[in-house]
Structure 1
Amino acid sequence: MLRLAAFINQVESHNPFKIEFNSTVIEMYKRLTPSMSFPMKYIFSNLWLFKPLLKKLIPSISSAGTAMLKTTYAFTTQKGSAGLNVLPQEAYVTANMRFIPHQGTDESIKIISDIAKQYNIETEVIHKGYPCPVVDYNSPIFKLVEDTVKKIYPGVPSTPYVMTGATDCKFFSDVCENSIRFAPLSISAKQMDSVHALDENIDIPTLVTGVDFFKTILSDWNKIYS
């Protein structure tokens, strides 16, 4: 248990994964910058200058922002002894990892495994997944989504984004060149924090707007590609 604790502390206190501003994140900030106020507007308008600083600051400011820049992980379960008064003969911890394209599955797993070896801990991959292909935000399909957003949410800008978690959309990657993960629902910051947590919820009226979005995009798709 002590070795497991030391291993977890090492990974948590000295993040081993590479932080990079990929092209999608750069495009996202480019589109969001006009809506920012000073000094953020100045900083993100000059990423060429402030990238090194932001790589250090973002991990301490925003977990969601960090997840767009690097492989992420979460230690989810840990077990030692089954009895309160019994020392464990063996112990384990599991981790859930989400891989970033610039430091993919095999490289990220090796990084964690190499750290575990330093504490004489064996590692085993229970299930292996791979980063989904990056969506082309200049494609006609992405443009269709943008146009539909303009119709349903007038005045709301659209921007590409790096998903900070896995979705079932990954199962479409083998048959779709661009699997776009997008929920046309208006939610608050509090509701965003409730995702997969206690009291997860959305407002009923936003469901109506979500239905309107899908009706519109399917209708426009039919006009374009029929």
Structure 2
Amino acid sequence: MTSLDARAGAADRSPSSPRALDAAIGDHALQLCQTLLRINTTNPPGNEREAADVVATELAGAGIEPKYLESFPGRANVVARLRGTGELPPILLTAHLDVVEADASSWKYPPFGGVIAEGCLWGRGALDMKNMAAMSVAVLARLARDKVKLRRDVIFAAVADEEAGCDHGSRWLVENHPDLVRSEYALGEVGGYSMHLGRGVFYPIQVAEKGLCWVRGRVRGEPGHGSMPRENSAVIRLAEAVARLGEKGLPVHVTPYMRDLVDAIASRQPAPLRPLLKRLLHPAIAPYALRALPDRSLARAIGALLSNTASPTILRAGSKINVIPGVAEVELDGRVLPGQTEADFLRELGTVLGPDVELEVLQSAPPLETEPMASPLYDAIRESIVAHDPGAMVVPYLMPGFTDAKFFSKLGAKWYGFSPVQIPPGMRFAELFHGNDERIPVEGLKWGANVLLDLVRRFCA
């Protein structure tokens, strides 16, 4: 373990009972989250304005002056600042208001209904990430109404467009209004949720995230009539290349973040299980260890942290059923590990797909690492979680996707993925992101609002 993990382990043993929850802050966050979930901010097109109005109105009602900023008609951002003494630099809380699409026919409850059922609040954005917007607004409003004396300004930014690349949200704010969001530290997605693994309860905190490399692969062949199949069909050769990618994947690279995570989890497992977990840290063995895991959701989540990845998401070829097209294309969502470059990723991808596939980079951004990982804020996060869940272990985490951290960190902010929520055993947190039936446990959301309030008070007051 790193020294950071050792300190976390020591802290885990100190409290004996969880801190009592404040019902008012939890109820406020729940009501706000439900309201936001009932607003359809699917991106594209986004249309975050109505959700931004809710946020701005709530902040103004608490005596905090919000700044309403549109990067484009309907693409709204809200920034608010709760002033402190200025003794210490600001902290930024941030959440995006846009969500990905949802097919209502595949949901148990309407994705924009904000239904409370079965102990959960259901809706697209419940975890990704209108919950953090609701909690942050509730926290700022509470601090303002209680007139808490703060040593730091607490900034909140509710942003547009994270799901489509941040051009109308965090990127636009950083490039056009940097002084409004400049901070020493920033909190956003993803982290602070409970994971139940064997004997332990773990709370991963994002301290790094993969880079982005969206790629188009193109295969060319001879066109012809559909009645006479061709051995050099662009469609067939592309299909064969995509199938190889699905079968082989990309090589394993063990990062320090993965090593720390596995070591921390193994420390809470029975002795016979520890060597099995350690196999994930051996590049030659890791793929076989992943295939042996019975929980496929867990295997997918771990696998994304062990290698660069490329997921085929769009296939495109032809326009008429009786014409063999001369070009077939695939678009791939590529993610690049810290320590790897765009060139490394393209080389690995090209090796698997084969020489027939031309690769074109559509959009890219490098991996992000919070350095040094340890900080007073990380310590405060750990203390706040353990105060509300004694015996839990806080562990550093590498995020396989990208977040608004890519841009807010450009202003010098140390970013931690932390939007706290308690998840019951058996609920597959990672599967709900961008999946059907996205939902958040009602009590888990209320717990998270209490933890976030505790953290901001602890760190800023």
Tell me how far apart the structure 1 counterparts of residues 447 and 280 of structure 2 sit (CA, whole Å): 40
User: 2:263 & 2:429 partners in 1: Cα distance?
Assistant: 26
Q: In the TM superposition, what are the counterparts of 1:51-66 in structure 2 within 5 Å?
A: 51=282, 54-60=285-291, 61=293, 62-66=299-303
* Secondary structure of residue in 2 paired with 1:162: strand
Corresponding residue of 1:93: 330
How many residues in Structure 1 have an aligned counterpart in Structure 2?
A: 219
Q: Identity percentage over the alignment?
A: 21
1:51–1:87 CA distance, 2 compared to 1 (3 A): closer
- Partner residue of 1:35? 268
Paired with 2:332 and 2:438, the residues of 1 have a C-alpha distance of: 23
Partner of 1:150: 386
Q: CA RMSD in A?
A: 2.5
Match of 2:341 in 1: 104
Name whichever structure is richer in helix by fraction: 1
More strand by share: 2
Shift in CA distance, 81/105, structure 1 to aligned 2, threshold 3 Å: same
TM-score (norm: length of structure 2): 0.44
Task: Describe how 1:174-189 pairs up with structure 2 within 5 A.
Answer: 174-176=410-412, 178-188=414-424, 189=427
Partner of 1:79: 316
Q: TM-score with structure 1 length normalisation?
A: 0.84
Q: Distance in 2 between matches of 1:74 and 1:26?
A: 24
Q: CA deviation at 1:191?
A: 4.2
- Indicate if the aligned counterparts of 1:135 and 1:178 stay in contact, CA closer than 8 A: yes
Deviation at 1:171, TM superposition (A): 2.0
Structure 2 vs 1, CA of residues 190 and 115 (structure 1 numbering), >3 Å: closer, same or farther? closer
Larger CA Rg, structure 1 vs 2 = 2
Aligned twin of 2:184: none
Structure 2 residue identity aligned to 1:56: P
Q: Does 1:2 align with 2:201?
A: no
The change in CA–CA distance for 1:38 and 1:80 in structure 2 (over 3 A counts) is same
Q: Which has the higher contact order (CA 8 A, sep 6+)?
A: 2
Q: Deviations over 1:131-166 (max 9, x none)?
A: 112453432222121111112222211111111222
Q: Deviations over 1:84-138 (max 9, x none)?
A: 333223221000011101322221023324555612x322111111111245343
Unaligned runs of 5+ in 2: 1-234, 294-298
> How far off its partner does 1:43 sit?
4.0
- The answer as to whether partners of 1:194 and 1:201 remain within 8 angstroms in 2 is yes
- 2:59 counterpart residue number: none
For structure 1, list consecutive stretches of 5 or more residues without a partner in the other structure. Answer: none
- Go from structure 1 to structure 2 and tell me whether the alpha carbon gap of 1:176 and 1:40 turns closer, same or farther (over 3 Å shift): farther
